[in-house]
Amino acid sequence: MDFALSEEHQMVQRMVRDFAAREIAPNIKDHDRHQTFDRSILPRMAAQGLLGICLPVRYGGAGMDFISLGLACEELEYVDTAYRVILSVHVGLNGLTLLQWGTEEQKQRYLVPQSLGEKIATYGLTEPSAGSDAVGIQSTARREGDHWVLNGEKMWISLADVADNFLVFAWTDQEKKRARDHTGMSAFIIERSFPGVQTGTIHGKLGVRAGNTGWISMKDVPVPAENMLGREGEGFYIAMSALDNGRYTVAWGATGLIRACLDASVRYARERQAFGVEIGRHELVQQMIANMQLKYDTARLLCLRAGWLKNQGVRNTRETSLAKWHATVSSFECAADAVEVHGAYGYSDEYDVERFLRNSKGAVIYEGSREIQQLIQAQYALGYRKDRPLRCEMPAYDPVVWQQEA
């Protein structure tokens, strides 16, 4: 077993770390305080190849592997969660799902401009009355000739008010909807320009205030039949496979947040004095810092394992779920301890740890809550849950194939 990063991985790590320090860090406090999303960051991320980092070159991507995607997420969230979220939805939930399930025509029409950053994409599963209960969605699609007509509402959608393309899920079989039979759900690619599509931004969030989160309204939206992703009735499987990719990016991002809390706490503990010594000399402060180090190392190892499996083309639902559960819960605990280390100053946005604490809570909930991940792990351990082969599996990473131009 070799846990060392390759030269290419180290290059990605340095590049994204420098980019985040230069392009994000100087203005993040203002964007967080005013709850504004910096749209200008998107073309700058595209120029670095980040919006297609792990997608094949022939589809406009940078042709790098899944560990490179993870490292980029870690470095972005080290500065602020909002910028990792961009990769989670644009690349993880949408782009990789198109790569896995899309037709060649769909990849050329949608994946290529998305990888290049010419179009921004997101993912719409959650609804006002359906979060963890994906089968509880109410959106519907009815067939009319050569197109489908979609109706429904999506809520808590990252980049909702920014994206050009949306991957959404709806019931195409009403009888199966009433029976809660997930084989009646289907997936669709819709464009902002389609009649009947409206979006809005949600304000007043606890955290990720520098990110865009909103809603999507679909009222009699005509969607060409060729914009169905996968086959009719495969929507649930597509949604769950997309979440494998999304949870992977969330886990890596939470790992970056843990490291940010650790670094900030170490720095403050060496600067601040109490009772005549650096507070880092006090054993209870040392205990909190030691726990941060433990949680960072374990989260990172779980992420590396999931990334290695993804590179091999091996199904990694269980491993990614575990990484997401451990890393996100640990990031929340580490952020709370980092505030404690900073004392009263930690309660002020003068220091970053206050923002880290607010940001960390969301990841415990979205893309499968802590409780959902616990159930998943228990079901695997008890033998109640087994992964069945998908019609379209995510291909293994092959650098020759991924970096071919045609």
Question: How far apart are alpha carbons 59 and 231 in whole angstroms?
Answer: 22
Residue 298 Ramachandran class (φ > 0 left, ψ -120 to 50 alpha, else beta): alpha
Contact yes or no for 190/140 (Cβ under 8 A): no
Contact yes or no for 372/79 (Cβ under 8 A): no
Q: Which residues pair with 158 in a beta bridge?
A: 213
Contact yes or no for 145/159 (Cβ under 8 A): no
Could you give the 3-state DSSP secondary structure of residue 61? coil
Contact yes or no for 60/52 (Cβ under 8 A): yes
Backbone φ and ψ for 141, nearest 5 degrees, come out as -140, 130
Question: How far apart are alpha carbons 229 and 235 in whole angstroms?
Answer: 8
Task: Give the residue among 373, 331, 369 at the shortest CA–CA distance from 353.
Answer: 331
Contact yes or no for 215/154 (Cβ under 8 A): yes
Backbone φ and ψ for 54, nearest 5 degrees, come out as -110, 20
DSSP 391: S
Expressed in angstroms, the distance from the first to the final Cα of the chain is: 34
Rg from Cα positions in the chain: 21
Give me the active site residues, please.
367
Contact yes or no for 101/392 (Cβ under 8 A): yes
Q: Which residues pair with 188 in a beta bridge?
A: 168, 228
